[in-house]
Structure 1
Amino acid sequence: MANKPYKVQKSPFVVPTTDGKIIKEHFGRATDGNTQLSVAHMIAPAGWSEPFQTPEFDEYTFIISGKKQFIIGEDTVILSAGESIKIEKNTRVQYSNPYTEPCIYIAICLPAFSMDLVNREP
């Protein structure tokens, strides 16, 4: 049987976390070895936050439901359902959901997400 020119993803890689966030990588390093691009379905629980980081990849975020807060330099950006943002690589950012409802969103990283490229602060 010949290879098909498409791939349906029904079994994304569930990234282990310790902060209650759910990360399901549909395409990327962990799922199919793609180092160029990653696509993940994320659920950030109410009250969730991460340390500041300076990723070595561009990250596009599209909010499906809820709200997500981004601290980028001197700016605090809050996105709601239907809104999106691109954060350029080598930009210091903190992601959080200080709200009372979970935030469901899609994250796309170029090149693909890797813990080695995140550069989280202690």
Structure 2
Amino acid sequence: MANKKYIVQNKPFVVPTTDGKVIKEHFGVPTNGNTELSLAHMIAPAGWSEPFQTPEFDEYTFIIRGKKQFIIEGETVILEAGQSIKIEKNTRVQYSNPFTEVCEYIAICTPAFSMDLVNRED
């Protein structure tokens, strides 16, 4: 059998959460051991937020539906469906969905997302 030059991901890693957010990591450390890049499909419920963080990775976000709020170095940015953003590593940011509708989005991190690199504040 020839060595395939592609991978179809049918079984993403579902990250356990306690805040109602759904995280399905399609590529990254838990799925294929890739430490260079992670790709995740996220669904953030209305009212969701997480602590400020200063990640050691670049993060790209593409909004599929709904809206998502970013507080980036003190500046509030709101993205809607069809918009995307790149936030450079070592930037203090808080992600949230203070709106009344669900936000669905794709996140890509380089290097791959890791709790060791996210640097969340208490």
* TM-score under structure 2 length normalisation: 0.99
Counterpart position of 2:20: 20
Counterpart position of 2:67: 67
The answer for unaligned runs of 5 or more in structure 2 is none
CA distance in structure 1 between the partners assigned to 2:24 and 2:45 by the alignment: 14
CA distance in structure 1 between the partners assigned to 2:13 and 2:51 by the alignment: 23
C-alpha deviations, 1:76-112, integer Å up to 9, x for none? 0000000000000000000000001110000000000
Calculate the aligned-residue CA RMSD, in Å.
0.5
Counterpart position of 2:77: 77
CA distance in structure 2 between the partners assigned to 1:60 and 1:114 by the alignment: 15
Counterpart position of 1:32: 32
> Partner amino acid for 2:90?
N
Return the offset for 1:74: 2.5
* TM-score under structure 1 length normalisation: 0.99
C-alpha deviations, 1:39-79, integer Å up to 9, x for none? 00000000000000000000000000000000011210000
SS of 2:20 mapped into structure 1 = coil
Provide the aligned length of Structure 1 versus Structure 2.
122
CA distance in structure 2 between the partners assigned to 1:74 and 1:50 by the alignment: 15
Counterpart position of 1:2: 2
Counterpart position of 1:88: 88
> Partner amino acid for 1:83?
Q
> Partner amino acid for 2:120?
R
SS of 2:63 mapped into structure 1 = strand
Return the offset for 1:3: 1.8
CA distance in structure 2 between the partners assigned to 1:34 and 1:74 by the alignment: 32
User: 2:88 matched to 1:100?
Assistant: no
5 Å-filtered alignment, 1:49-68, equals 49-68=49-68
The answer for unaligned runs of 5 or more in structure 1 is none
CA distance in structure 1 between the partners assigned to 2:73 and 2:108 by the alignment: 21
